[in-house]
Structure 1
Amino acid sequence: MAPLRDCKAWQDAGLVLSTTSNEACKLFDAVLAQYATWTNNESLGGIEGCLSKLKAADPNFTMGHVIANGLELIGSGSSVRLNKELDSAMRTMMMLSKSQPLTEREKLHVSALDMFASGQLPKACDLWEQILQSHPTDLLALKFSQDTYFYLGYQTQMRDSVARVYPFWTSDIPLSSYVKGFYSFGLMETNFFDRAEELAHEALAINKTDAWSIHTIAHINEMKAEVRKGLEFMKETEDNWKNSDMLACHNYWHWALYFIEKGEYEAALTIYDNHIAPRCLSSGSMLDIVDNSSMLYRLHLEGVKLGDRWNNILQLTKKHSRDHILLFNDVHLLMSSLGAKDQKTTDELLTSLRELAKAPCEDHELSLAPSLGLPLCQAFVEFENGNCDKAVDLLYPIRYQLIEIGGSNAQRDVFSQLLIHAALNSKSQAKQNLARCLLRERDMMRPNSPMTERLIRKAAAVHSMA
């Protein structure tokens, strides 16, 4: 790893930090490096350790507050509405920023976080882009905007944001190979698979432990239903990414998806039991919780018996049922209460979301609740209650808008699977016909998918009985 940058090194990079403490500058770099690489580096003291030392080194360092609050808001999915400490930390940051002479770039960082905290995610991205136009190597602005575009489902913006700064990230700049990984992910999500794979491999040639670039290749194999290639790749590279504590659980999730695709449910459950569930229990992170619910729900759609696994995950998800920070998270929390047949938690989640969605507000996510979040959640409820026709009626009209609730194409595929299963199990001839249309469409997009073939056989059997 490159030596951590002091005040002068940041200045030489054209990214002045308003502090006289070299220690604060180095710790800021340490936190940024761990965030960009998805890894708590124990030799640095982990992100938490570095943040507390950073605050001690210079309590009035505004960018120190920016990175700490940003990671809390964007990295861990917290919100000022729910977290009084975070609310107070944001106020402190705003106060500090007004009381000292900051650079234009630092002021924009403060404003962007302020926008994000009030739920105005697209506006926050506009401000980070403003920073990147004049400071293309500002990694914090780049990474915050990448994560936020992901939450918004703004795939093209996520790709183009990196394209605009990519030529400036020469090999002498710390962490430049990780920017290749960011770019490859945006290319993959917009279906430029060949270029995405090429860049991910370039990044891995420089640093084989780049878990995000490995993750991009996992997505490409998933999108193309290249199951054997996917399984071999995950197995060959496991030692390189399993210590990336923030992303390892998610990479194991991708590995298990190939087994579900093949219909090898025991193999998928083995990965789930050995890696996904335990990592989720120890981290409690929202990404891990989402992976957990999503994995079990896919197995549930395939008719796999899951024992008490839903109850175990419910212990983690239950306390978040009234959070409503991202609709994408809400629907995954709902999967767990439905899976565990906990009617009370399901009702609580839906009722509190309806309430919040009623009030006019600037919050981007809540503004999508009436048209997208609630019908999507309701479709899951109807399907679980055996009302397949109703589930299709709710889900089919919004299928092309669902990208707006964020997540990746691979993650949102669970919604497509739900729609197909609901249509297949429907009483109506027209909806069974729709299921066959959806399967033909799926077959064109991901030729040779064993899952699609299984469902096509099921659809034929339903048809011959009708």
Structure 2
Amino acid sequence: MAKHTHWRDSKAWLDTGLSLSSTSNEACKLYDAALTQYIGWYDEPSVGGLEATLEALLKSDPSFVMGRVISNGLELLGTGTNIDLNLDLKKNIDEMVDLSMSNSISQREKYHVSAIKFLSDGYQKKACETWERILVENPTDLLALKFAHDSYFYLGESTQIRDSIARVMPYWDDTMPLSSYLHGMYAFGLEETNLYAQAEKEAKLGLHLNPNDPWATHSMAHVLEMSGRAKEGIQFMSTTENDWNICGMIACHNYWHWALYCIEMGDYQKALDIYDKQVEQRTVQSGAPLDMVDAASLLYRLEMEGVSVGKARWQKLFDIVGPHINDHTLVFNDIHYLMAALGTQQDDIVTSYKESIMDFIKVKKGDQRNIMNDVGVAMFEAFQAYNNGEFAKAVEKMIPIRYQVIRIGGSHAQRDVFNQFLIHAALKSTEKQHQKLARCLLIERKSLKDCAPLTDRLTARAMALHID
């Protein structure tokens, strides 16, 4: 693996213009090791993996503010917990804030602390504004850049994903540690703003510099998905599999992309094989929300295509998802957890889940609360209606918020499950207007991606309806 493992000590960080307020060289090196694994989505064996690195980092210098920042930030951005659910996390963040009051802490580090505090309080946009403030003065601060990158993704802010990287690119060069990863990050922003040719160029450059960059692989997978090159996507993922599947934090998601190509081509058995052998097993092992939402999305897409995935698969997934349905860390997660709940066909769970969401809206503040109120509840009710055979109701719930769904975050490829959902609901509705809408949506879909067998299959179904 082409990687940076010569960890930077206190002087090395000072020489880069990013001084760290720790007298411990060991702490500074471990901070670099943690940052490297985070940006590369992998566990470095020489330091015991990311989790062990963070534990050692905090022990090496308990008063090291940036050690607290990266540890608390990663726990929050994992979206598996929050300060309401995890009192230890709340305590750690309060201690981090107290440590930042010292005069020995730089302004840059104080801003980092403020950003994490905003994030913990539910204000992701304010956190992003603070990281961008850091980057104006310190464009090579990779932690600020990556934290902002991930948070923009959670907010569905595609233009910001792109521009945040574009603004700092001229300040980096190939001699800087971890610089190659910027190409994959920039490629993702370009792809999410429909600049596919430029995105492909950046992704290929990132992979040329480091074939083991799984985010560059991921960005390339998105380009091939969105430009209707499913066959090429299957070949790309299969021939590079051993380059990216060693990066365990995102390998499940890249397998998910591979399965999407198979669904597009109508190879449902291959998609199920990928689910069983990779997605499900990795989700069980990791228990990570990113993996759980991908598993739910994949099963739901297959079922919309008419594939019976079996209640056992849904139940096994819900056994992992269930403990998190009251977390409400991301609306994006909540809607996918709903898919898993619906898959188990347990109405009482769905009912209590809805009550939990309404309580969340009543008592909480912050960006996710507002998104849930404005978009998430209608989406929840649409999926619930569809599950109950009330297809016309599902359509009527989705239509008013169709162009707001981006606010729940994720990528265009991930949110496409909701586009497909609306089409399927419209096709199944007994309302002639909805059936005509399905045809219109399919024309729109075809105009965006001409080579799309899945769209062609749905169009054939729509044209078979006697609605004229």
TM-score grouping bracket, smaller chain normalisation: over 0.9
Identity of aligned residues (%): 48
Deviation at 1:43, TM superposition (A): 2.0
Partner of residue 4, structure 1? 7
Residue type of the alignment partner of 2:327: D
Q: Which segments of structure 1 move beyond 6 Å, counting only runs of 4 or more?
A: none
Deviations 1:114-135 (A, max 9, x none): 0011111111000000000000
Residue number in structure 2 paired with 1:352: 356
The answer as to 2:305 corresponding to 1:302 is yes
Match of 1:97 in 2: 100
Q: Distance in 2 between matches of 1:81 and 1:267?
A: 41
Tell me the equivalent position of 2:318. 314
Given candidates 329, 337, 341, the residue that maps to 1:337 is 341
Contact 1:223 1:446 in 2 (8 A): yes
Equivalent residues of 2:41, 2:250 under 8 A apart:
yes
3-state SS, counterpart of residue 105 of structure 2: coil
**Within 2, Cα distance between the matches of 1:94 and 1:384?**
46
Q: Does residue 430 in structure 1 map to residue 420 in structure 2?
A: no
Following superposition, the deviation at residue 13 of structure 1 comes to 0.3
Q: Which residue of 2 aligns with 1:288?
A: 291
2:367 maps to 1:364: yes
1:374-433 deviation digits (Å, cap 9, x = unpaired)? 000110000010000000000011110110110000000000000000000010111100
Q: Quote the residue 1:145 is aligned against.
A: 148
| Structure 1 counterpart of 2:98, one-letter code | M
**Distance in 2 (alpha carbons) for counterparts of 1:375 and 1:346:** 14
How many angstroms apart in 2 are the aligned matches of 1:233 and 1:457? 29
Alignment correspondent of 1:57: 60
1:15 to 2:12 alignment: no
> Helix, strand or coil: the match of 1:318?
helix
Is residue 323 of structure 1 aligned with residue 327 of structure 2? yes
Other structure's SS at 1:463 match: coil
CA shift for structure 1 position 370: 2.1
Secondary structure in structure 2 of the residue aligned to 1:399: helix
Q: Which moved more, 1:337-346 or 1:203-212?
A: 337-346
Contact kept? 2:341, 2:349, Cα under 8 Å: yes
TM superposition shift of 1:76: 4.3
> Hey, what's the Cα distance between the residues in 2 that align with 1:139 and 1:215?
19
Q: Tell me if the contact between 1:318 and 1:345 (Cα under 8 Å) persists in the aligned partners.
A: no
1:117 to 120, 126, 135: 120
CA shift at 1:439, angstroms?
0.2
Deviations 1:203-262 (A, max 9, x none): 111110111101111111111121111111001100100110001000000000011111
In the TM superposition, residue 460 of structure 1 has moved relative to its aligned partner by: 1.1
Per the alignment, in what secondary structure is the counterpart of residue 42 of structure 2? Answer: coil
Mapping 1:21-36, distance limit 5 Å: 21-36=24-39
| Distance in 1 separating the partners of 2:14 and 2:349 | 52
Q: Are 2:268 and 1:265 aligned?
A: yes
1:166 aligns with 2:172: no
Cα distance in 2 for partners of 1:76, 1:100 equals 32
Corresponding letter in the other structure for 1:409 = H
| Paired letter, 1:351 | E
Q: Quote the offset at 1:100 in angstroms.
A: 4.7
> 1:11, 1:99 → 2: CA distance?
19
Question: Quick check: 1:321–1:345 contact (8 Å CA) kept in 2?
Answer: no
Contact 1:27 1:51 in 2 (8 A): yes
Candidates 70, 75, 78, aligned match of 2:73? 70
Q: How does 1:199-218 map to 2 (within 5 A)?
A: 199-218=202-221
Number of the residue aligned with 1:47: 50
Give the secondary-structure state (helix, strand or coil) at the position aligned to 1:331.
helix
What letter matches 1:310 in structure 2?
A: W
Is the CA contact 2:212–2:243 (under 8 Å) kept in the aligned structure 1? Answer: yes
Equivalent pair of 2:79/2:329 in contact (CA under 8 Å): no
Question: What is the CA-CA distance between 1:448 and the residue it aligns to?
Answer: 1.7
C-alpha distance in 1 between matches for 2:186 and 2:131: 17
Q: Which amino acid is 1:356 matched to?
A: F
Local SS of the residue matching 1:235? helix
Q: Distance in 2 between matches of 1:198 and 1:52?
A: 38
Once residues 348 and 283 of structure 2 are traced to their aligned partners in structure 1, the CA distance between those partners, rounded to angstroms, is: 23
Deviates more, 1:71-80 or 1:381-390: 71-80
Partner amino acid for 1:317?
V
Query: Could you list the runs of 5+ residues in structure 1 that have no partner in the other structure?
Result: none
**CA deviation map 1:55-113 (0-9, x unaligned):** 12111111101110000001344210111110111111111111452101000000000
DSSP 3-state at the match of 2:303: helix
Do the aligned residues in 1 keep the contact of 2:159 with 2:193 (CA within 8 Å)?
yes
Classify the secondary structure of the residue corresponding to 2:101.
helix
CA distance in 2, matches of 1:40, 1:461: 52
Please show how residues 437-448 of structure 1 align to structure 2 within 5 Å. 437-448=440-451
CA–CA separation in structure 1 for the residues paired with 2:436 and 2:124: 39
Q: State the one-letter code of the partner of 2:329.
A: I
Which residue among 401, 405, 409 is the counterpart of 1:406? 409
Partners of 2:429 and 2:445 lie apart in 1 by: 19
Structure 2, gaps ≥5 residues long: none
3-state SS of 1:212 partner: helix
Alignment-mate amino acid for residue 289 of structure 2: M
The aligned length equals 464
CA distance in 1, matches of 2:80, 2:166: 26
Matched to 1:24, the amino acid is A
User: What's the counterpart of residue 379 of structure 1?
Assistant: 382
Pairs within 5 Å for 1:155-234: 155-234=158-237
Normalized against structure 2, the TM-score is what?
Answer: 0.98
Partner of 1:106: 109
Q: Distance in 2 between matches of 1:99 and 1:13?
A: 23
Letter in 1 for 2:241: E
Report the more deviating stretch, 94-103 or 282-291: 94-103
- 8 Å CA contact retained: 1:322, 1:348: no
Residue 151 of structure 1 aligns to a residue in which SS? helix
The TM-score with structure 1 as length reference comes to 0.98
